Structure 1
Amino acid sequence: MPVNAPASPDFPIREILPELLATLAAGTRLVLEAPPGAGKTTQVPLALADAAWLAGKKILVLEPRRIAARAAAEFMARQLGEDVGRTVGYRIRFEAKVSAATRIEVVTEGILTRLLQSDPELADVGAILFDEFHERHLHGDLGAALALDVQANLRPDLRLVVMSATLDGERVARWLDAPRLTSAGRSFPVRIEHPAPRPNEDLPFAVRRAAELALAETDGDVLVFLPGKREIDRTRGALGALPGVDTGRLALVPLHGELSLAEQRAALRPADPGTRRIVLATNVAESSVTLPGIRAVIDSGLAREPRFDPNSGFTRLETVSIAQSSADQRAGRAGRVAPGVAYRLWPQSQRLEPSRKPELEQVELSGLALELAAWGADSLAWLDAPPAGALAQSRELLVLLGALDDARRITALGRDMLGVGTAPRLAAAAVRAPAAQRGLIADILAAIDARSPLRGESARSDDFRTRIAALHAWREGGARAARDADAGALAALDQASQGWRRRLGNAAPARGVADSHALGDLLLHAFPDRVAKQDAGNPRRYALANGRGVRLHDNTALFGEPWLVALDLRYEEKDSLILSAAPFDPALLERDYAERFRRERVVRWNGAKKAVEAFEERRFAALLLDRRQVGVTAADAVPALIAAVKAQGLDALPWSDHARELRRRVESLRQWCPELGLPDVSDEALLARLDDWLAPYLDGKSRLEALRADELSQALAAMLDYDQRRALDAHAPVALRVPSGNERRLDYVPGQPPVLAVKLQELFGLADTPRIAQGRVAVTLHLLSPAQRPIQVTQDLKGFWERTYPEVKKELKGRYPKHPWPDDPWSATPTARAKPRA
């Protein structure tokens, strides 16, 4: 159905729409620069909806914020005279209004990532519009990088448009290799004022002085930019005594992400006749939402932006100074309908950073690392690449959580975690929570993701259970029952918990008093590195599983708990301070993390005594559970070296690629053919048997560095006798010869069939899938295109030739005309070349 909704003449973007349409008809990428109010957010999608190249596919419009996404969809739907959810719809966290008829879908940035991961080809999408790209949110950068990868490899017809008001258009155009278009927009002059600050004046009262000026000097509404809801509430109280508030001639209107849908819509409507408004907003009002009638802007110069907090393990919102680009955009809101004034509440001499830094340079990257592992890409075309060190650290955390395997590949648990839609730590806890505890884990997700609802003395509690208890009391008896807590914050928590419960399978809300260990038992799976064991000699001090020390504060509510899982810490030079924690049942460590326990004989050099000591120790990760001293043998050096390997792990040894591959082959064949009696060469087994297989090769050495890689390979190979080596080469070969005559390597991962990656043209004439391990295991074939990209993963080669090959041939023959695509692959000559030899 044609949309037929030309841009309103009120929008300046109308002047460049013909050129925009022509550009996207001729090419697939575009950078559009247009100031606030030009109409880019709502008019460009409507103008593109009838483009011939769209061919009935949808347009996705990305908005960084939920308020903006909903508002943009509603505005476009009104232009079409329809309800939201028909031609124009939106999809945001916990809410969607779309239908089979939806042609334009406005989504928040994280939604695009989920769509790309579930359907990389985006078969029903013809264009993606990245609005307000200058905000450089992590999911925006990731979505753009993934979309470029899709366009380059799967969908060359996919249109990509990057739009912004304050964008380094030249740099972005170079990155995209795309043309730039600029809309002049329309704005009126804005006078910039810096009211003189008063010593030690709180922000709400500085805003009040500026508001009195704005109301006296202008005749429209006033927009105040504040960093967050807490400052909005305090400023609203300070403005309550302004003339006109009590009579209704002056309305104080909040605008932030925690408002209900009705409250958000009310904030975006014009003022009632005879009433002026002071809109108290966070940076959601900087762009993409239209606030009518604004003639003055009061800018605190502050915003809440994400920053990684290593002590909590999460990215937290911190109050920071805004960039100059944001200050300019905020000031421009005063000049949309007439000349205006912007009152900036910072000294005129203060210099701001020119533009906002990308989020991926400032936040914790485990979520990004998990997305990249799921995508399977080694490298993407980033505007700014993620910091390598932070990404590597995040991958280590994901391995600990079970989301990645040791080879940094995503696991089944990791894929389940992606579907939860929250930080990987919390997603791990949610996925591993028993079904009966899903209501409680939903409360935990909501509570960790939000500000604490506790007030007064309770706000200083380090017992995380207090927050959840307040929520449950509020559910049972309302605000009176939840003493020392903010009822509004509890209502917001409950609403967020409802969304999580729907996400987790419509779980029933948790009620009543939870078991004393219930919260900690769930949080253990989010913080397995934050397991804390009480020091026997100091009950306020704990040792963490990651090797660090922590302590409780003097007025702790957790005194006497032998085991804690620490959620939030404040770094201190000696022992970090526990800000939030919960007790848990240590029996869960044996049940869920048995692989992290070890009992070993430790031989070490004591520098103070200048003597070798031997101990038998039992540990969970870095936590020493018990230790007893044992006698020391005469062979001092070898036990000390063995102990060093046990302490540092097998990675301390000089493994070659050949040795690693040998271990994978042995482990695989050991599982497939146990009757062969192959040795156990897993990490656990090798660490447990260091004295048997490694000690002879350490004889005469005083340093681990003296052990050569070829000696380590010999030590590993020596674990197999002659017959076992022959069996290994016969039944778990390094490579297979394919019909083309070439040898192609097999990739072994214990517990899985081996993978043979080969161009499908090399298998012409082969009917049956190759098998190894005495014919017990079919090889998993990764059939590759001429460009070496997987086009099919199968263990049924015959079925592929019969059912799938005709479709593959139809799709790829035109793309790779120089390669053979015979009608009958059974009789064709196998080849690895573009043109078979005669």
Structure 2
Amino acid sequence: MNTAFPAADLLPKGPFDLSRLGRGLVFAQALPAAAAALTPGSTCAGSAVVQAPPGTGKTTLIPPLVANLVAGAGVPGRVVVTQPRRVAARAAARRLAALDGSAVGERAGYTVRGESHAGSRTLVEFVTPGILLRRLLADPGLDGTAAVILDEVHERGLETDLLIGMLAEVRQLREDMTLVAMSATLDAGRFAELIASPETPAPVIDCPSALYPLEVRWQPPAGKRLDERGITPGFLDALAGLAARGHALALAEDPTTDALVFAPGAREVAHVARRLRQELGTGTEVLELHGQAPAAEQDRAVSGRSPGGLPRIIVSTSLAESSLTVPGVRLVVDSGLSREPRRDAARGMSGLVTVSCSRASAQQRAGRAARQGPGTVIRAYSEAAYAAAPAQPAPEAAAADLTAAALVLACWGTPGGRGLPLPQTLPAPALEDAEAVLRSIGAVDAEGRATDTGQALARIPADPRLARALVDGSPRLGARSAAEITAMLAGDYRPAGADLVRLLAALRSGKDPGSRAFSREVLRLQQFARSPQAATASDQRVGTGEAVGYLVALAFPDRVARRVAGASDEQYLLASGTRAGLPADSPLRGHEWLAVADVSRAAGRAAAGTGAVIRAAAPLDDGTAEDAASQLLVEEIIARFDGGKVSARRVRRLGAIELASTPVRPAAAQGRGAVARALAEQGLGAVGWSPAAEGLRRRLALLHRELGAPWPDVSDRALLARLDDWLGPELEALASGARASDVNLLEPLRRLLPWPEASGLDALAPERILVPSGTQERISYPDVEDDAGRPVLAVKLQKCFGWAESPRIADGRVRLQFHLLSPAGRPLAVTDDLASFWSGPYSQVRAEMRGRYPRHPWPEDPWTAPATARTKARM
């Protein structure tokens, strides 16, 4: 692997010694090209896309390079670098500071949620995308920022996508600001146009791979990876076994080898880590790396093995997939699974589901093993499963809840992202749902523009619904209590079952691993909760149990839930109309009311047959539920036309949850509305067609089809559109209490007959027709909605002897179709040309039927035989 360093005179001078920082890093070869592209005053005006494989050193070298360039150009301000995760931001700042020989927070620092190590002398600051978004909303010009570098844009995180569009607009006003997008794999041309312009896209800086040789082993365990409940425990046990055996073999060859195991979520990480500790004992250090782990544990996992330290196995979520190099890792064990957001529009919820990771993610994971030397990846799945996986992970915007993003865009002045150069248009259904939520909390107006309330909520580092609950709940709960509950709901804390009251108690006590971060977050949120009302609310403050449920219900009123009476399992009906199950081991079982903070799609026993499961909630009583979700309280009279009669009830409900129902007498207008709704939903069959009415309707339908006006359109659609014209008196009768059985639609239908043309109805579309035997036979007309059907005359064959000309109706436009029947009434032939039938097929019918029906006439010459309905003996 070639790591030849460019001559020092090719690199820009400045506060950072690039020659020292880039020693041993492959990306150092690309520094001259990057410097030429990013020098202020160049043709691209200081923008570029950096495309380099993992481990090349782009995250380490591009920020100090840009810092030197802007310092040389006299542009004041620091370089801000986004990292998609807090642990990555901290690790990148520490690595750059270590290589630079300075303390973290001096020349290289970081700012993440609840923690900042950056000061007035900081030249390069690593931040999470959320931090930079809030800075942009507070200061759209980004004063004090000379350059922004967006790292890992290929992950297509929602906040990073928003930053691309917003920063592209900032650069139109600030040509002195440098903007760089970096990634391991991405659509470079597309991003080059987004951060610059389609006419003059930003240059793309490439770098060769830094990977050493990599051995790939396919070792799928027996049994399923996933079932209806998600990832199977058996697979997790097998994954731990693969990791233990693979690491033992690797240590035999190289005692310095550490291993990295990928599992989809924090729960699975904990399971695998626990099994590894049980199997390996104290001879191997097993570390967990995921978003819910305390910062100190995350930092320890991404640091190298200490001199003389034990061999290490790091069990991680996709957090370690990119943007991090974990020193010493030469073995990767990949489950091939990831946890991705999915939005369930039908149930109005979003959640994380376990799916097969993309091929691009699998390649990123495998690359972790070959960054510092030859490595091995053990894939706990088959080559066929890899080939069937999607090529790229889905962008977060395609499946995530867009409420927070919609508020950011509204505050930016581009509601819905319209006109903003985003990597992709936000999905319209999810965006409409998000804007509806924002309107309900007063954050945006009818046109989607941010209100003063929305601007204030956007400054609070929490989901807009939680931010609104924090502000509204403070007067009753007190600023401290409201901030604690909001911090718990907004944070990545390991849940203690599904009971949020217990979780809050653990966080307050300091016993929960996340307590320290929780305390910092509470102090930060408390300043947003303070208000004149909150400061004097001591007499209104309530106990912890009620307080948690109250604030959760304030934030998510549509998730207030009531237990379904009579359900075989613990089923709850949410105010939104969704049903969800409560896991069998939940301490919340038995509560009548719950305020639900987290509900997601699920299958199996935990969902109790509902398709959704309550992950986190707090108990609630009915009074608090009505108070917190008062905007969903409705009292109305509901009239229904059911069973052929109008009935009504006075219903009081909380969203979809019925609180009380009392029978009442409907008003006339309510009765009319109930009948109209039933007709619209069920069609005119809700009233019912008598045989005579249905016969007239079919005759009129045929005339309308063949002759047009003035014969009326009597389809369901047309009749429902003009109910008052023909059914007015009957509707009034039904609305006033008459039963459908008392209404005959024959007379109402006659009101539609055109005059004077109606006098010719029986000639144009007769009910019956005289056949040669002297009897009147009924014509069957086609269904009203059948645009190609023919009128049918079903008649016994013997009644038609001698009938040569097939009759026509509808002013000669339609020829009757004959269904010629046996003496027993069974069909023998279908024809609309009697002459052809007598001359041809009749002889075969005669040969087959004369033996079966010997008492009836089957003459050789049907033309001259008398038509009859009698047997031969009675003729």
What is the root-mean-square deviation of aligned Cα atoms in Å? 3.9
Mean alpha-carbon deviation: is it higher for 523-532 or for 593-602? 593-602
> Would the alpha carbon gap of residues 77 and 40 (structure 1) be closer, same or farther in structure 2, given more than 3 Å must change?
same
Q: Secondary structure at the match of 2:414?
A: coil
Q: Post-superposition shift, 1:107?
A: 0.6
Answer yes or no: is 1:170 the counterpart of 2:216. Answer: no
Corresponding residue to 1:191 among 187, 204, 215: 215
SS in 1 for 2:179: strand
User: Where in structure 2 are the equivalents of 1:661-680 lying within 5 Å?
Assistant: none
Deviation per residue, 1:688-723 (Å, 9 max, x gap): xxxxxxxxxx999999xxxxxxxxxxxxxxxxxxxx
**What do the CA deviations read for 1:131-175 (whole angstroms, capped 9, x no partner)?**
1111111111111111112223x3233322111112232343344
1:297 aligned partner: 332
Number of the residue aligned with 1:44? 62
Code of the residue aligned with 2:133 in structure 1: it is T
Structure 2 counterpart of 1:180: 204
- How many Å separate the matches in 1 of 2:438 and 2:403? 7
Provide, for residues 166-213 of structure 1, a one-character-per-residue CA deviation record: whole Å limited to 9, x for no partner: 223234334443221101143321121223634555221122222223
Distance 1:217 1:197, change over 3 A: farther
Hey, what's the Cα distance between the residues in 1 that align with 2:649 and 2:376? Answer: 75
Alignment match, 1:826: none
Q: How does 1:331-410 map to 2 (within 5 A)?
A: 331-350=366-385, 351=387, 352-378=389-415, 379=418, 380-410=420-450
- The aligned length equals 622
Q: Please state if 1:223 is matched with 2:240.
A: no
Query: Distance between the aligned counterparts of 1:503 and 1:699, measured in 2?
Result: 60
Distance in 1 of aligned mates of 2:469 and 2:399: 24
Q: What is the match of residue 38 of structure 2?
A: 24
1:575-614, CA deviations, whole angstroms, 9 ceiling, x for partnerless residues? 9665654343555577666555455555x45142343x45
1:445, 1:497 within 8 Å by CA — same for their partners in 2?
no
The SS at the match of 1:147 is: helix
Tell me which of 488, 500, 505 is aligned to 2:527. Answer: 505
3-state SS, counterpart of residue 68 of structure 2: coil
Correspondent of 1:124 among 134, 144, 152:
144
CA distance in 1, matches of 2:562, 2:654: 10
Residue 413 (1) aligns with residue 453 (2): yes
State the match for 1:4 in structure 2: 16
Cα drift, residue 326 of structure 1 = 2.2
The DSSP-based 3-state class of the residue aligned with 1:101 is coil
CA contact 1:109–1:139 (8 Å) conserved in 2: yes
CA distance in 2, matches of 1:389, 1:86: 46
The AA in structure 1 aligned to 2:182 is M
Residue type matched to 1:48 in 2? V
- Judge conservation of contact 2:114–2:520 (CA < 8 Å) in 1: no
Tell me if structure 1 keeps the 8 A contact 2:473–2:551.
yes
**Equivalent pair of 2:87/2:299 in contact (CA under 8 Å):** no
| CA distance, structure 2, for counterparts of residue 134 and residue 184 of structure 1 | 18
Structure 1 residues 163 and 557: alpha-carbon distance in aligned structure 2, compared to 1, 3 A threshold: closer
Question: Following the alignment from structure 2 to structure 1, what is the Cα–Cα distance between the partners of residues 251 and 542?
Answer: 51
**Distance 1:117-1:266 versus aligned 2 partners, 3 A rule:** same
Q: Does 1:440 align with 2:460?
A: no
Write the distance in 2 (CA, Å) between the matches of 1:224 and 1:584: 43
Tell me the secondary structure at the aligned position of residue 80 of structure 2.
strand
Cα distance in 2 between the residues matched to 1:634 and 1:299: 68
TM-score in terms of structure 1 length: 0.66
Distance apart, 1:636 and its partner CA:
7.0
Distance 1:701 1:119 in 2: 66
Q: Distance in 2 between matches of 1:20 and 1:426?
A: 43
- After the TM superposition, which residues 730-769 of structure 1 pair with which residues of structure 2 at under 5 Å, given as runs? none
CA offset at residue 13 of structure 1? 1.7
Q: In the alignment, what sits opposite 2:870?
A: none
Deviation, 1:75, is 2.0
Q: How do 1:244-255 residues align onto structure 2 when only pairs under 5 Å count?
A: 246=282, 250-255=284-289
1:496 is matched with 518
Match of 2:28 in 1: 14
Are positions 1:582 and 2:618 aligned together? yes
1:465 paired residue number: 501
How far the C-alpha of 1:130 sits from its partner, in A, is 0.9
Q: What letter corresponds to residue 3 of structure 1 in structure 2?
A: P
Contact 2:641/2:675 (<8 A) preserved: no
The residue identity in structure 2 corresponding to 1:42 is T
Flag the 1:585–1:29 CA change in 2: closer, same or farther, 3 A.
same
Q: Is the Cα contact below 8 Å between 2:553 and 2:628 reproduced in 1? A: no
Q: CA deviation at 1:442?
A: 4.2
Instruction: Tell me the residue number matched to 2:747.
Output: none
Decide whether aligned partners of structure 1 residues 123 and 446 sit closer, same or farther in structure 2, where only a CA change above 3 A counts.
closer
Do 1:442 and 1:498's aligned partners in 2 also have CA atoms closer than 8 Å?
A: no
Q: Residue type of the partner of 2:304?
A: R
Task: Quickly say closer, same or farther: Cα 1:282–1:533, change in 2 above 3 A.
Answer: closer
Alignment partner of 1:63 out of 83, 93, 108: 83
Gaps of 5+ in 2: 1-12, 196-200, 224-233, 531-537, 679-722, 729-875
Q: In structure 2, which of residues 177, 180, 183 is the aligned counterpart of residue 161 of structure 1?
A: 180
1:70 is paired with a residue whose SS is helix
Q: Secondary structure of the residue that 2:79 maps to in structure 1? A: strand
Q: Given the alignment, which residue of 360, 367, 384 partners 1:325? A: 360
Identity of aligned residues (%): 34
Distance 1:422 1:312 in 2: 23
* SS of equivalent residue, structure 1 residue 504: helix
Q: Residue type of the partner of 1:21?
A: A
Q: TM-score, normalised to structure 2's length?
A: 0.63
Amino acid at match of 1:440: S
Matched residues in 1 for 2:467 and 2:134: separation? 15
> How far is 1:272 from its partner?
1.5
Letter of the aligned partner of 1:520 in structure 2?
Answer: G
After superposition, residues 608-623 of structure 1 pair within 5 angstroms as 608-611=643-646, 613=647, 616-623=650-657
Counterpart of 2:355 in structure 1: which amino acid? V
For 1:308 and 1:336, how far apart are their aligned partners in 2? Answer: 36
AA at the equivalent of 1:170: G
Amino acid at match of 2:32: P
Alignment-mate amino acid for residue 177 of structure 2: L
Say if 2:244 is the partner of 1:208.
Answer: yes
Please state how far the C-alpha of 1:261 moved relative to its aligned partner.
Answer: 4.5
Indicate conservation of the 8 Å contact 1:207/1:235, yes or no.
no
Q: How far 1:390 sits from its partner (Å)?
A: 1.0
Distance 2:255 2:54 in 1: 22
Spell out the pairing of 1:143-162 with structure 2 (5 A cutoff). 143-152=163-172, 154-162=173-181
Give me the whole-angstrom Cα distance separating, in 2, the residues matched to 1:255 and 1:516.
32
Counterpart of 1:521 in structure 2: which amino acid? Y
From 566, 570, 581, the equivalent of 2:596 is 566
Q: Report the AA paired with residue 163 of structure 1.
A: M
For the residues of structure 1 that align with 2:579 and 2:355, how far apart are their CA atoms? 30
Equivalent residue of 2:384, what SS? Answer: coil
Q: CA deviation at 1:24?
A: 1.8
Q: Contact conserved, 2:242 with 2:333, CA < 8 A, in 1?
A: no
Equivalent residue number for residue 719 of structure 2: none
Residue matched to 1:546: 576
Unpaired runs of 5+ residues, structure 1, are 479-489, 645-697, 704-838
Letter of the aligned partner of 2:192 in structure 1? A
Contact 1:420 1:504 survives alignment (8 Å): no
Question: What whole-Å deviation, never above 9, does each CA across 1:788-825 have from its counterpart, x for those lacking one?
Answer: xxxxxxxxxxxxxxxxxxxxxxxxxxxxxxxxxxxxxx
